[in-house]
Amino acid sequence: MTQTTEHREPLEGRRRHKLLPKQIREALPPIDSTDGFKFDNRLLVVKFFCPYNGWRWYAVEFDGSDIFFGYVEGFKKEWGYFSFHELSHAAVGECVPAVERDLSFEPVRFKDLND
């Protein structure tokens, strides 16, 4: 089975899991599909995090290729767009992945997020 270029993870093999497996990609609704929902009712489908700086990215929507819409806890806590390409390519040095997927995270409504 071959992967398409847009989903190939350059640091794959350095992680013990896929950053964005097929079942999660398919569970994410398309970009703009939750526009009518209040932020509190939006479903956070997957959580990515950086153990080195404490940043967290919660994806709500995905364009199927690269762009997520979701909630980010970084310098600020805000809703916005972020890139799979950037998350998957972030590294410490040349070969240590800087971003991981939280394997224990279960989808949750934003209003119920207790992180």
- 13-63: pLDDT as tens digits: 566 678 999 999 999 999 999 999 999 999 999 999 999 999 999 999 999
Number of domains within the chain? 1
Residue 108 lies in a domain: no
Contact 67, 80 (CB under 8 A): no
Residue 93 lies in a domain: yes
DSSP codes, 38-70: -GGG-EE-EEEE-TTT--EEEEEEE-SSSEEEE
Residue 46 lies in a domain: yes
Domain containing 78 equals 5-32+40-103
- Over residues 54-100, the pLDDT tens digits come to 999 999 999 999 999 999 999 999 999 999 999 999 888 877 888 99
Residue 92 lies in a domain: yes
